[in-house]
Amino acid sequence: MNRYVGRLAVGLAAGSMAATGIGVGAASASNAHRAVAHRTQSVTITFWDDNGGPRTPLYEHLIPIFERQNPGIKVKYVGIPDTSVLEKYDTAIQGGSPPDIAAIPGGDLSAIIAQNALISLNKYYQNSKIYGQILPTLLKPTQAISPNGKTLYALPFSGVPATLWCNLNILRPAGVTCPTTWNAFFTDAVKLTNANKGIYGFTMRGAAGATTQLIDEMISYAGLERFFQPNGKTSLQSPRVLQFLQKFVGLYKKATSAADVDNSYLQMVAEFDSNKVGMMLHNLGSYASNVAAVGGKQNLVGEPDPAGPFNHGRVTMAAPGLDTYGIFKASKHQAQAWKFEQFLLGAEANGYWNKNVGQLPANKNVLKQAWVHQQQPVGALLAALSSKNTYAVSLPNYLPQYGAIQNNSDPLWQEVMTGQITPAQWLDQLCSALDQAQSLWTHGHK
């Protein structure tokens, strides 16, 4: 009897487990849906947005326009939360179920290319009506991410250059204008600080993302014109860079809040947007939230990173961060996905998207639109990037380890801020890791 009941219990357990799989029925329903779609010659492509939430309304506006222009193609929009984009894409690629087309942050592109998940867009782009319209300032760094430096595994739709944000609510009463040189920046940051009133001249990024930010600033201050020298060693290993780091960390607690040691971009932007901080080094992407927080465009200035003391009149800056669109190899509707990508990169859609986000548009024709010059930071950054006097340094986003190297250096930067290690020690470990990664990459591609 006991044995019988035991078997019954085990059987019931197995049965229940099987019963919970009743959703299998949904698969056949989905197949039926596909069959109907096939009969009506309509194709549905899936589009993943890497910044779901804030930017969802923009695509909800653009997708119906595309669908009206292309009656045979439906676009299924899926907004992926920004904090988990690469994990979601990796799982989908490895699980064999990626979308047809996706927005991919430039920093994650090499990891996705390394999985052989994207198709080359060179031929699509060359034969398209948008050929030649993408800004070389954004196109070349995208191309440089591919292993051979030529294949376009994605096309850029927006650029996010490093930006010095100035809150005029704090600067005006002190009679300070947004600094254009690093020397003025260091002086003004201290001048604006009144710790007793809780006002600080600057907010420093001490935690996650600190290294990413610092690399932009080191390049700008030291006037570096290439990331790696011909001998494969990074140009960051320089006395000029060390001088910058020493001056920069000297601002901590002198012109910043002590809490800045724990600042990721979340806390840093929140601190700036609290109207208690004069300046912040971030990128163009925080434009919309900054404008809202300081009470309008008239109270905010965004400028390129200041000019360094060694630049001899030339402005050097890190190439802008990238937002790109890529088409997945596993897609059965690559041609339709390209049509959608071409639409998104066209002047109308690209202009609409970047105008609302406040970033650099990728399509040259958008630069003729009035808003580009009405949004001061976009105009200023664009002018700097298009100036013959500016040198934009490409970052080694092609290195698969580049993201990890930066992440590993972030906690060590906190140790610099708290005086546990010196800026020189921090710079040594960063340069050593970069040199090693570059060496591996060079040997792997010989």
> Residues interacting with other proteins, by CB under 8 A?
1-2, 5-6, 8-10, 12-13, 16-17, 20-24, 26-28, 30, 46, 50-57, 76-84, 87-88, 91-92, 94-97, 99, 105, 160, 265-266, 269-270, 274-275, 282-283, 285-286, 288-289, 292-293, 295
What's the min distance (Å) between Cβ of 375 and other proteins?
15
Tallying the residues shown for the chain, one arrives at: 446
For other proteins, the closer CB: 83 or 148: 83
Six-digit token string for 241: 């860079």
> Of 68, 154, 58, 79, which is closest to residue 353 (Cα–Cα)?
58
Q: Whole-angstrom Cα distance, residue 127 to residue 143?
A: 17
Identify the burial level of 11 via C-beta atoms within 10 angstroms of its C-beta, where 0-12 means exposed, 13-18 middle and 19 or more buried: exposed
Give yes or no for a contact between 412 and 427, defined as CB atoms under 8 angstroms apart. no
For other proteins, the closer CB: 151 or 289: 289
What's the min distance (Å) between Cβ of 64 and other proteins?
15
Q: What are phi and psi of 120, to 5 degrees?
A: -75, 135
**With the C-alpha atoms ordered 303, 394, 135, 110, is the resulting torsion angle positive or negative?**
negative
Q: How many C-alpha atoms does 391 have within 13 Å on its Cβ side?
A: 18
What b/e readout covers 25-39, taking b as 16+ CB neighbours within 10 angstroms? Answer: eeeeeeeeeeeeeee
Partners of residue 9 on adjacent β-strands: none
What's the min distance (Å) between Cβ of 208 and other proteins?
13
Residue type at 192 in one-letter notation: L
For other proteins, the closer CB: 79 or 308: 79
Six-digit token string for 216: 């932009």
Give yes or no for a contact between 373 and 207, defined as CB atoms under 8 angstroms apart. no
Give yes or no for a contact between 377 and 303, defined as CB atoms under 8 angstroms apart. yes
For other proteins, the closer CB: 90 or 435: 90
For other proteins, the closer CB: 26 or 370: 26
What's the min distance (Å) between Cβ of 187 and other proteins?
28
For other proteins, the closer CB: 197 or 443: 197
For other proteins, the closer CB: 8 or 424: 8
> Of 389, 394, 402, which is closest to residue 440 (Cα–Cα)?
402
What's the min distance (Å) between Cβ of 271 and other proteins?
12
What's the min distance (Å) between Cβ of 382 and other proteins?
18
Give yes or no for a contact between 174 and 282, defined as CB atoms under 8 angstroms apart. no
What's the min distance (Å) between Cβ of 373 and other proteins?
22
Place of tokens 């002047």: 347
What's the min distance (Å) between Cβ of 406 and other proteins?
16
For other proteins, the closer CB: 271 or 341: 271
What's the min distance (Å) between Cβ of 439 and other proteins?
31
For other proteins, the closer CB: 282 or 339: 282
- The kind and range of the H/E element at 130 are none
